[in-house]
DNA sequence: GTGAAAGCGCTAACAT
DNA sequence: ATGTTAGCGCTTTCAC
């Protein structure tokens, strides 16, 4: 096709061989004699020939394209996820077709349909919940679907997610250890399943310990929302602990606590976050938080990409707690 | 092609029409009668048909694929750039083929060659400098090449870049206004052209004002490098100003200054950054910095993508200064 | 408006 | 090992 791209036929002509000889030369397993290969390579070099992978995939039935859809691509957590994922894909010889779901927000179906049209071999969903009909279509067409931090109630989909409940329990235990009497749990207004799981597991744990918890949620998942939460919640002087279900929220909350509400952290307020984004480790923050091991998470995603084993349907990635300085 | 995807032929058969009728139905300008179109659409719906864009592009000579190559995808600045870019591409009906150059670092040529093989219509380079041979090949094949914050010495390439020199001048003027007597200029060890331009423009300006400047550079472009720079440079008590060519560096530097080296900012040390990443506005930092207007920058990139006007070869995006609290 | 046929660039099965 | 042939799924003349 195309503007000016050289075709295999032209190369064949110049090298004085058949079209298939050219094809074979550029096919890993192809059986071509040294001299022919040399001639082909020479001609290709001179002409500036590049195989057309699109045409290649037409026969192969493997496009080598992996669709990646997600929103919030510039948030510290997601961007790192995308970074690792795209590196891993490239290493495996796979191409990353990135679809930003920012405009789609609630309905990522059209994006996935687009991916179908490009014959993506697999689709990785970083955020957003695909409707059941789409999931069905994936299966019908043999397109592997991998959901990250999303739990669908069906056994035929690949899901890899952090152990949110356990993470929330760790946070709860840490705040109990800090001897908190009344704690806040803050989440964003977007109410993603992951955040919901963290909030509910945390609340449940605290309730069982008879510790009062006040829930706050609002705005997007951002520093600003956390800051607002801090300003509003900390008017209540009796709150002496907080679990922010996302580091971004936690950092905003922390700034509000110290800089706006006159709290001393951790002396009269303990804060625990979730994710362990780079900023959580910055000297001004030193946030105690639950870490999602992004590398192993990504690894599992990549493995789910090429392994056919159905045992790896739902993979729960264990989380840990990193102790820094914001919890007493 | 492939696994289970339905082809246009199957749709044609079920609808009782010709293959071309199906094709026309799914082609924007196609002339099909209402009844035929209806039948086709119905059959397609029932069968779950999806046009194969790969095959489509084979005739069209337009793949709709835009290659994007860059590294450091999880840094606040680049990730935001990618975020905006991918949104813009999608809005224009273009697909984003993302190639992470993390492994490539110095040589992005192989990645661009890969993009050729996928017949990308255009290639956007976020970071890294493509060798001349590759640029030639782009032109030869009619692939538009767009370089961001990279200045190549040739008139046949699209480049959109922030006005680094002017930004550096703004920073210099600000530090002069703060009555600094001895200033540091810190950059990373990666020595990207953009950073180099900032350093040299700044130094030049300061020299012309006879203000002593000490240059530091090392490590990757990160918070940590900035922190290290701060720890090392601020042993010299006479340094009372610093221009960090990147906000990430500036934030690390700032933390080192306050938390490690006992400096009071801005009282006895003024700091100016560059980029205006979100974290620069966080309450704990409130960094005075030069802002790169990412939205207009992205806009220009997108425009360069589809406009053929050669006047838009080299586009300089004006920068401004945002005053916060780190400069006296 | 519609179908038949040719062709996009490539690979693979089939001969030789 | 090499050339010939037949597709891959689609669009696009070209007739009618």
Residue A112 lies in a domain: yes
Tokens 């984003």, residue located: B96
Residues A216 and A276 in one domain: yes
Which of A211, A194, A177, A328 is closest to A274 using CA atoms?
A194
Question: Is B40 in the same domain as B84?
Answer: no
Do B177 and B279 sit in the same domain of this protein? yes
CB contact under 8 A, A283 and B91: no
Residues B95 and B185 in one domain: no
Of B76, B140, B227, the CB nearest to A48: B140
Q: Which domain holds residue B258?
A: 164-291
A17-34: average pLDDT: 90
Rounded-to-5 percentages of helix, strand, coil across chain A: 45, 20, 40
User: Does residue A298 share a domain with residue A158?
Assistant: yes
Interatomic separation, CA of residue B210 and C1' of nucleotide D5, rounded (Å): 79
pLDDT in tens, A203-251: 999 999 999 999 999 999 999 999 999 999 999 999 999 999 999 999 9
B312 touches chain A (CB under 8 A): no
| B95 and B240 belong to one structural domain | no
- Asked if A48 contacts A78 with a C-beta cutoff of 8 angstroms, the reply is no
The pLDDT confidence band at residue B311, using thresholds 50, 70 and 90, is low
A323 belongs to a structural domain:
no
Closest residue in A to B134 (Cα–Cα): A48
pLDDT of residue A62: 87
Per-residue pLDDT at B204: 98
In a domain, B309, yes or no: yes
Q: Are B301 and B70 in contact (CB under 8 A)?
A: no
For tokens 């697999």, the residue is A122
Cβ-count burial of A268 within 10 angstroms (0-12 exposed, 13-18 middle, 19+ buried)? middle
Q: How confident is the model at residue B29 (pLDDT cuts 50, 70, 90)?
A: confident
The secondary structure of residue B315, as a DSSP letter, is E
CA of A230 to C1' of D7 (A): 66
Q: Are A138 and A79 in contact (CB under 8 A)?
A: no
Residues A153 and A223 placed together within one structural domain of the fold: no
Quickly count: other Cβ atoms within 10 Å of residue A323's Cβ: 10
Mean pLDDT of B19-38: 91
B182 and B153 housed in the same domain: no
Report phi then psi at B4, rounded to 5: -145, 5
Asked if pLDDT for residue B328 goes beyond 70, the answer is: yes
Structural domain includes residue B40? yes
Model confidence band, residue B28 (pLDDT cutoffs 50, 70, 90): confident
**Is some CB atom of chain B closer than 8 A to the CB atom of A152?**
no
How far apart, in Å, do the first and last CA atoms of chain B sit? 65
Structural domains in chain B (count) = 3
Comparing A263-267, A305-309, B106-110, B212-216, the range with the smallest average pLDDT is A305-309
Q: Which residues contact A50 (CB under 8 A, 6 or more apart)?
A: A5, A6, B113, B116, B117
Q: Which residues pair with A124 in a beta bridge?
A: A68, A146
The dihedrals phi and psi of B198, each to the nearest 5 degrees, come to: -65, -45
CA distances in angstroms from B222 to A305, B219, B232, listed in the order given: 32, 8, 16
**pLDDT over 90 for what percent of chain B?**
89
Exposure string of A228-266, with b = 16+ CB inside 10 Å and e = fewer, is bbbbebbeeeebbbbbbbbbbbbbbbbbbbbeebebebb
What is the percent of chain A where pLDDT is above 70?
A: 98
pLDDT of residue A29: 81
For residue A151, is pLDDT > 50?
A: yes
Q: Say if residue A115's pLDDT is above 70.
A: yes
The pLDDT score that the predictor gives to residue A146 is: 96
pLDDT of residue A311: 63
pLDDT band at A81 (very low <50, low <70, confident <90, very high): very high
| pLDDT digit string, tens, across residues B41-75 | 999 999 999 999 999 998 888 899 999 999 999 99
Mean pLDDT of chain B: 94
B204: Cβ contacts below 8 Å, ≥ 6 apart: none
Q: How confident is the model at residue B105 (pLDDT cuts 50, 70, 90)?
A: confident
Whether residues B3 and A142 touch (CB distance < 8 A) is answered with yes
Same domain, B298 and B257: no
Q: What is the pLDDT of residue A3?
A: 52
Whether chain A has a CB inside 8 Å of the CB on B60: the answer is yes
Q: Is the CB of A90 under 7 A from strand C?
A: no
Portion 202-231 of B in contact with A at CB < 8 A: 223, 227
**A236 lies in the same domain as A170:** yes
Give the separation between CA B109 and CA B266, rounded to whole angstroms.
45
Which of B2, B119, B141 is facing A119, going by the closest CB pair?
B2
Tell me the CATH number at B38.
Answer: 1.10.260.40
Give yes or no for a contact between A313 and A155, defined as CB atoms under 8 angstroms apart: yes
Q: How far is CA B123 from CA A224, A231, B94, B158, in A?
A: 35, 46, 12, 10
Judge whether A1 lies within some domain: no
What percentage of residues in chain B have a pLDDT greater than 70? 98
Backbone angles phi, psi at A231, to 5 degrees: -60, -40
* B79 contact A CB<8A: yes
Q: Write out pLDDT tens, residues B149-207.
A: 999 988 889 999 999 999 999 999 999 999 999 999 999 999 899 999 999 999 999 99
B154 within domain boundaries: yes
Quick check: A2 pLDDT over 50? no
Residue A86 lies in a domain: yes
Do A99 and A171 belong to one domain? no
Containing B19, the helix (H) or strand (E) segment is helix B19-25
B142 with A61: Cβ contact below 8 A: no
Quick one: pLDDT at residue A1?
34
Strand order in the sheet with A270-275: A212-217, A182-187, A241-244, A270-275, A288-291, A320-322
pLDDT band at B3 (very low <50, low <70, confident <90, very high): low
Residue B2: what pLDDT? 39
In a domain, A186, yes or no: yes
Identify the CATH number of the domain in which residue A88 sits. Answer: 3.40.50.2300
Residue A310: which pLDDT band, with cuts at 50, 70 and 90?
low
DSSP string, B156-195: TSEEEEE-HHHHHHHHHHHHHHTT-SEEEEEE-TT--HHH
Q: Are residues A266 and A176 in the same domain?
A: yes
D8 closest protein residue (CA to C1'): A59
Q: Which B positions 161-190 lie with beta carbon below 8 A of chain A?
A: none
What is the band of B313 on the pLDDT scale with cuts at 50, 70, 90?
Answer: confident
Q: Which band of pLDDT confidence, cut at 50, 70 and 90, is reported for residue B126?
A: very high
**Beta carbons of B96 and B40 less than 8 angstroms apart:** no
Does the C-beta of B310 come within 7 A of strand D? Answer: no
How confident is residue B1, by pLDDT bands cut at 50, 70 and 90?
very low
Alpha helices for chain A (secondary structure H): 8-15, 19-25, 34-47, 53-60, 76-91, 109-117, 132-140, 164-177, 193-208, 223-233, 247-255, 294-306
Residues 6+ apart with CB under 8 A from A254: A226, A230, A265, A271, A285, A287, A326
Contact B168, B180 (CB under 8 A): no
Which nt sits closest to A52, CA to C1'? C9
* β-pairing verdict for A270-275 and A288-291: parallel
Cα separation, B287 vs A90, in Å, equals: 36
Tokens coding B295: 């939205």
Pairing of strands B158-162, B212-217: unpaired
């Amino acid at each position: 096709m195309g503007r000016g791209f050289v075709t295999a036929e032209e190369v064949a002509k110049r090298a004085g061989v058949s079209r298939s000889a050219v094809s074979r030369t550029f096919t890993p397993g192809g059986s071509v004699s040294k001299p022919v290969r040399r001639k082909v390579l020479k001609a290709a070099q001179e002409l500036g020939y590049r195989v057309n992978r699109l045409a290649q995939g037409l026969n192969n039935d493997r496009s080598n394209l992996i669709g990646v859809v997600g929103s919030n691509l510039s948030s510290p957590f997601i961007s790192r996820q995308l970074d690792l994922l795209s590196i891993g894909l490239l290493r495996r010889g796979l191409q990353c077709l990135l679809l930003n779901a920012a405009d789609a927000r609630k309905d990522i179906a059209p994006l996935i349909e687009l991916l179908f049209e490009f014959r993506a071999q697999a689709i990785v969903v970083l955020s957003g919940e695909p409707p059941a009909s789409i999931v069905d279509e994936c299966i019908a067409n043999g397109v592997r679907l991998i959901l990250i931090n999303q739990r669908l109630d069906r056994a035929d989909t690949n899901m890899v997610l952090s152990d949110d409940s356990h993470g929330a329990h760790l946070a709860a235990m840490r705040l109990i250890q800090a001897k908190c009497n009344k704690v806040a749990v803050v989440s964003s207004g977007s109410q993603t399943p992951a955040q919901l799981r963290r909030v509910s597991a945390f609340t449940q744990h605290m309730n069982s310990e008879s510790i009062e918890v006040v829930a706050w949620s609002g705005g997007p998942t951002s520093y600003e929302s956390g800051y607002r939460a801090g300003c509003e919640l900390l008017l209540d002087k009796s709150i002496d602990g907080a679990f922010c279900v996302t580091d971004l929220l936690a950092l905003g909350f922390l700034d509000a606590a110290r800089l706006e509400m006159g709290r001393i952290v951790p002396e009269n307020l303990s804060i625990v976050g979730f994710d362990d984004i780079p900023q959580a480790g910055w000297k001004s923050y030193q946030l105690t938080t639950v870490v999602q091991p992004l590398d192993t998470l990504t690894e599992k995603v990549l493995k789910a990409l090429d392994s056919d084993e159905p045992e790896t349907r739902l993979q729960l990635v264990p989380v840990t707690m990193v102790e820094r300085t914001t919890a007493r």
